[in-house]
A and B are shown apart, each in its own frame.
Chain A
């Protein structure tokens, strides 16, 4: 049996999405920048996709910029907003302590360019408390960036409250909403979001395509230069199959939202209750109430996370030790560190992320295998 419980890393493309993408590889392969019919047909479809995405996130059509994914979107937004709005009096960027590496590294890049960069701490639940933002935000601040849902522990941040504080100080608000679809009903206008990032492969769309939503009232500096695609904000030929896949996947995610959430919540509750009942020395990391139901980040005392992962992988169960990047990075999770997790537990964590194709049978199989794995590794652990 193969069990995929790493849906926060990436998801399987929904067959309905794939069907939508197919014609754009070899039938409707025109370049939307071409003036002939084949190109103009592609352009019309592109604009429809843009409208669809704008509607789904409650924004303006001309604010939807298609990118190669969320890493590009986050780089584009953080650097683009900071560099365009820098003045003698405004020179500060604020990001949370648990942002994705592409946000962290973009902020550090700006720090090397002379910007003042500050980090909002999180509490032990993995939540950014709005009053912590109040403490460090000031008139110097250009941009505040806080992710809507954390990729490692699945905690949900109070985006609307943080955006409100940000605007009260004359700054702009960005949220990396990669893990938020479809858990949060995104509405950039209502929530006060000026900039937002999405990535299709996190919601059953294809890899290599994302969205940078940009409030076009705000001064902005592009990253890629070249052609005049995306109103000149992102040069480069459009990835049409990807873009149509993204639009379809986003639409389906919200269309199926209620059924999906019900299913995931009940599966996740079942899974966690059973693990708690059958395995000792297990703890849930992050807030119990303010988290997406798909994410269960669990600590297994006295054994090492990667060993658990490899043992499960051998049994056909695919999980992660935090984030997908962690395979090459031996350092313990900075997210769990920021939450103040006991240092003896930092290397004993596994992220299970459920998804649309998860079944109860597969979870039963996982629990049985997990019990054996934990028992085996604990049998020779030097730590009691």
Chain B
């Protein structure tokens, strides 16, 4: 059976738009997994209810990459309310059609985006519930903990790189 991708699908596979990560995203979701053969990770930045930036990572086939590429391009700048309703059929027509056995890729992309938006909404909800003071306090505590962890992690490697080796090698000798 043929797998005739359209030129637009191939273009979006070869030069995908919005590919990569967003640091500290407002919303994040992973859909699918590598055992099933495809996985997408979506990252969102939202400002005043609108998608300011959206990026994705992919473990998947050409149409997995192409559908996510087109979707992210289309929903950038949309309100989250509108983006949530973006239909998979539109991705398919936008690409000039997909092979039958690949249509599920567009459904997966749409569901992945919805999941990332739901994550954003959940984050917003929890922000509303917790008073501002507390979150600030939590953040500073968290920062301190992270800083401490980094120090601990760095210490043995940077300050005395041989020390760790010695300690791990010693018990072996005893054996």
Contacts and interface: CB of A to CB of B under 8 A. Distances in A.
B98 to A, nearest CB: 13
A327 B10 contact: no
A344 B35 contact: yes
Interface stretch (A3-11, A298-306, A353-361): A298-306
Interface in B42-75: 56-62, 64-65
B2 interface: yes
Contact of A330 (B10, B30, B34, B101): B101
Contacts of A87: none
Interface string B10-51: 100110100110000000001000111111110000000000
The bracket for how many chain A residues form the interface is: 20 to 34
B170 interface: no
Interface string A287-316: 000000000000000111011001100100
Most A CB contacts (10 A, CB to CB) among B10, B14, B38, B61 go to B61
A323 to B, nearest CB: 13
B104 to A, nearest CB: 8
B153 interface: no
Contacts, number: 67
B86 interface: no
A346 interface: yes
A311 B14 contact: yes
Given A327-B2, A328-B101, A380 B19 contact: yes
The bracket for how many chain B residues form the interface is: 20 to 34
Nearest to B13: A310
Nearest to B36: A347
Contacts of A303: 59
B35 A343 contact: yes
Contacts of A277: none
B13 A304 contact: no
Nearest to B14: A314
B136 interface: no
A383 interface: yes
B1 interface: yes
A380 B57 contact: yes
Interface of A: 302-304, 306-307, 310-311, 314, 327-328, 330, 332, 343-344, 346-348, 380-383
Interface of B: 1-3, 5, 10, 13-14, 16, 19-20, 30, 34-41, 56-62, 64-65, 101
